[in-house]
Structures are given as C-alpha cells and as structure tokens.
C-alpha cells in the first residue's frame, strides 16, 4: 500500500508533526488550517476512522483470496477472486471495515511502523480485496492490544469527521454521481458550508469549477480573518481522548 511508504517518509521528516490526515486527490477542505489544529488539540491523540463489522464489513472480500490481474478491456489492473477460502487474520484480529482515508496521530503511525502484530496484519491483507479499507480500521478498533489513539467501543457508535461523502440515495446531490458518490456543484455549497467534517469528497474542477473556486474563496476569507467556527461538536465526539495529558501542538 502506498500509504505505508508515505508514513515511513513522514516519520523521517524534520517537521515535528502530530497528525497525519490521509485523503484522496479530489477532496477539498471545509475547515481552515487554524480550525483543524484546534480540532486536533481536542482529539488529544485520538484517531478518527470509520468502522463497520459483521455483514456490513463485506466478509467475502477477506474470506476469499484475491489477487491482482491485468484487464485487457480496461487496460488496468483489477482485483479478482481466487479459488478457495483465505486464512483468517493473524493474532485473532477481529476484522472491521472502514475507509482507506482517515486522521491518525503520530503515535499511531509509529505503532503501525514498529509493532510486529500490525506488520503481520498488513502482510496478511495483501491477499484480500481493498486492504487499505480494512487494515487501518481493524487496528484502530482492535481490543487485543493497546493501540495509540484507538477506539475499543462499538465501531458504529461514532461518526467519522475526516471526510464528508454524499452517497447516492443517502444525501441529496445537486449534480451527478460517479460510483455512487456525488460530484459537488455550486448548488451544493450552502449544504457544504454547514458540514462539520474536515474535508468534502468529491470535486471535479473540469465539471464544476465554480464550486471549487467559491469554496476556496470562502476558506480563504475565514483564514485571513482568523475566524474559528463553533467547535463544541468535536468536544462531544465519543472517540476523543479526555483521560490523559493533552498533546502540545503549535498553532
């Protein structure tokens, strides 16, 4: 997974960063940098990652062995099922499906890079479909060991604040859908301004350039005036860490 290489490089950076926000290339921020820093201070070392289990975790993706093959029709690599069941995960990990993207503390990233059990899970995930949608969430929600910034409650009892996605049939969309995800337009901006997530996904600048330019101007205006919108919602999130010494962060 490319995420692993990025994490390794970031840990060698001279910048003393405290959080890694892993996002795809077609997102755009809904919060200013100042607001994000204050939100991460509230998180106090906690990670933010989606989590679903049971049938919602799509067990076939990790119970049947998968491999990458070349698709002549599309000219791309695709994931295909192999014959036979795939061995269960190592160390009795209970699989939790989440997102390939999320907000992770530095301590969590260091743990991923150094813990043997985390390494074993990553190696095991090479034979499943969409491993990055399972590894981070499984580690974040595991109860078999103490994970920095982890959450051991019900994975579905909390919301994720990293990214807002307007899924088809779940959230109104004023534009088109691509793979069941709304491509935001200017008509979606009033709704986006009310969203508490850090980022919104997705934008196509060649399809709706006005949406990106207007949102960019809105965030810029908040930035240059040092405005910080209400953060009470973040203080009430069930996954934040309130029982340990706060992590110092520069603003």
Confidence of residue 250 (pLDDT cuts 50, 70, 90): very low
Q: Is 80 helix (H, G, I), strand (E, B) or coil?
A: strand
Mean pLDDT of the chain: 93
Residue with tokens 């813990």: 115
Beta-bridge partners for 29 = 199
Phi-psi region of 174 (alpha: psi -120 to 50; beta: other; left: phi over 0): alpha
More confident residue, 17 or 72: 17
* Model confidence pLDDT, tens digit, residues 129-144: 999 999 999 999 999 9
- Find the range with the poorest average confidence among 93-102, 181-190, 201-210, 242-251: 242-251
Q: What is the pLDDT of residues 183-208, one digit of tens each?
A: 999 999 999 999 999 999 999 999 99
pLDDT number for residue 49: 98
Asked if pLDDT for residue 247 goes beyond 50, the answer is no
Cα distance between residue 35 and residue 21, in whole Å: 14
- For residue 89, count other CB atoms closer than 10 A to its CB: 18
Question: Going along 91-158, which residue ranges are E strands?
Answer: 102-105
CA separation for the pair 143, 209 (Å, rounded): 45
């Amino acid at each position: 997974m490319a995420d692993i290489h990025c994490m390794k490089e970031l840990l060698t950076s001279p910048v003393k960063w405290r959080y890694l926000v892993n996002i795809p290339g077609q997102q755009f921020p809904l919060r200013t940098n100042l607001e994000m820093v204050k939100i991460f201070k509230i998180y106090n070392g906690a990670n933010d990652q989606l989590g679903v289990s049971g049938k919602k975790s799509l067990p076939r993706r990790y119970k049947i062995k998968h491999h990458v093959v070349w698709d002549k029709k599309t000219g791309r690599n695709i994931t295909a099922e192999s014959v036979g069941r795939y061995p269960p995960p190592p160390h009795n990990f209970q699989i939790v499906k989440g997102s390939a993207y999320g907000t992770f503390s530095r301590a969590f990233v260091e743990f991923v890079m150094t813990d043997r059990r985390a390494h074993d899970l990553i190696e095991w995930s090479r034979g499943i479909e969409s491993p990055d949608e399972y590894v981070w969430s499984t580690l974040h929600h595991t109860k078999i060991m103490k994970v920095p910034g982890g959450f051991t409650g019900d994975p579905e009892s909390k919301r994720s604040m990293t990214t807002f996605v307007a899924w088809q049939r779940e959230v109104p969309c004023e534009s088109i859908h691509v793979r069941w995800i709304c491509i935001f337009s200017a008509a979606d901006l009033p709704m986006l301004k009310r969203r508490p997530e850090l980022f919104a996904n997705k934008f196509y600048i060649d399809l709706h350039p006005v949406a990106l330019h207007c949102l960019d101007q809105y965030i810029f205006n908040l930035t240059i005036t040092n405005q910080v919108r209400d953060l009470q919602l973040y203080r009430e999130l069930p996954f934040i860490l309130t029982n340990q010494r706060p992590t110092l962060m520069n603003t």
